[in-house]
Structure 1
Amino acid sequence: MNFDEIKRQLEIYKSEGRTMFTTSSFQSHSIVLLHILSRIDNSIPVVFINTGYHFPETVEFKDKVATEFNLNVIDLKSETPKFMQKDPDGKLLFTSDPDHCCFLNKTQPVNRLLMQYDIWINGVRADQSAVRKAMQVEQPAPNDTVRFHPMLDWNAKMIYQYQKEYNLPKHPLENAGYLSIGCEPCTRRVDPEMMEREARWYGMNKTECGLHTDLVSK
């Protein structure tokens, strides 16, 4: 979808009285959607899923982008404290059960949030993974929410061109070889032969956190 199409769809949602929010990981490629939304309606809540494990550079970048784009950013945290996020051996879950760690820190908090809104504006792209390629522009989600994927048909080249056209800031870790940036313990630099998201949960046979698998109505 181009800018005008996204704007038109958001206006339709608004005219229907539907409440909207978006989530963002505040990576370089994800702020394209944030910039588009800031041009259309910067009052739409931007939810940062604060797992407590983000790189300090990500938190600083979030604050910078929020100020520069004049966004309404909200931190969303797990209701399960870290001392309860341990396995039987006393190790934090990201070391032994990353799926459950993601569930407690990302999927569960967003699922609760879906009870408060009608539309979840989500920046997934079909070129990022097989899971995302199978998605549709509008897709039902739990709690009678609709997932809206305006960037689904965008590719990496289009993202780069938009970034260049509007001179958007880049995540400070990008120049250090990080292209897909999540929680610090589960993110590594991208090797030349790797796909973008292979740097996440490297060696764990895992490419999604659950937001785009569990929070999609079957």
Structure 2
Amino acid sequence: MEIPQIQEKLEAYHAAGKKLFTTSSFQTHSLVMLHIISRIDNSIPVYFLNTGYHFPETVAFKDLVAEQFGLNVIETKSSMPRYMQRNEEGRLLFTSDPDHCCFINKTAPTEELLKTHDVWINGVRGDQSAIRKAMKVEQDAPFNTVRFHPMLDWNMKTIFAYIKEHNLPRHPLDSKGYMSIGCEPCTRKLDPEMQEREARWFGLNKVECGLHTDLVKK
């Protein structure tokens, strides 16, 4: 979508009395949507899913972006303490059951947000995975909510052209070879043979955390 179309859609949601929110992992390529939102309506809450496993650089970058863009950033996290996130043998879930770890730390907290909001503004892009390519700009989500995907037809080239044009900051790990940054224990630098999101769960047959597979109305 073009920026005027995004603005028109957000204004229409507001006019209809809808309660909006967005989430962000605060990677470099996430900043385009955040910057656009900040220029249209910076009162829209931006939730940061604090898994407890983020790189320190990500947490610091989140604070920098929030201040620079004037965003209303709110941290949310799992109701299950990290010390309890273990399997029957006592191993932490990210080592033994990463899908369940993602559910506890990302999907479940976001599901709670859907219960109290109407529209989830989400920055998925169709070029990131086959699952995302099959999505629609507006898509039904649980609890009678709507997922709004304004960046669905953007790609890496248009994303970084916008970043350059507006001189947006870069995540400090970009320069160290990290292109898709998730939780520290699972994320690796991107190898030339990897697709963008494979580096998020190195060595696993996994490219989604569940936010974009479980939280879509079937």
TM-score exceeds 0.5: yes
> Deviation string for 1:12-62 (max 9, x for gaps)?
000000010000000000010000000000000000000000000000000
Give me the whole-angstrom Cα distance separating, in 1, the residues matched to 2:195 and 2:104: 27
1:144 maps to amino acid: N
Give me the whole-angstrom Cα distance separating, in 1, the residues matched to 2:3 and 2:118: 21
1:136 matched to which residue of 2?
A: 136
SS in 2 for 1:26: coil
Q: How far apart are residue 96 of structure 1 and its match?
A: 0.6
Q: Which runs of structure 2 are paired with 1:26-175 in the superposition (5 Å)? A: 26-175=26-175
Number of equivalenced pairs? 218
CA-atom RMSD, angstroms?
0.5
Give me the whole-angstrom Cα distance separating, in 1, the residues matched to 2:197 and 2:98: 16
SS in 2 for 1:30: helix
Q: How far apart are residue 89 of structure 1 and its match?
A: 1.3
**Runs of 4+ that moved beyond 6 A:** none
2:189 maps to amino acid: R
Give me the whole-angstrom Cα distance separating, in 1, the residues matched to 2:180 and 2:83: 28
> Deviation string for 1:171-209 (max 9, x for gaps)?
000000000000001100001221111101111101000
1:201 matched to which residue of 2?
A: 201
Give me the whole-angstrom Cα distance separating, in 1, the residues matched to 2:83 and 2:160: 41
> Deviation string for 1:78-104 (max 9, x for gaps)?
000112100111111000100000000
1:184 aligns with 2:180: no
Q: How far apart are residue 167 of structure 1 and its match?
A: 0.2
Identity level (%): 68
Calculate the TM-score normalised by the size of structure 1.
0.99
2:23 maps to amino acid: T
Unaligned regions of 5+ residues in structure 2, if any? none
Calculate the TM-score normalised by the size of structure 2.
0.99
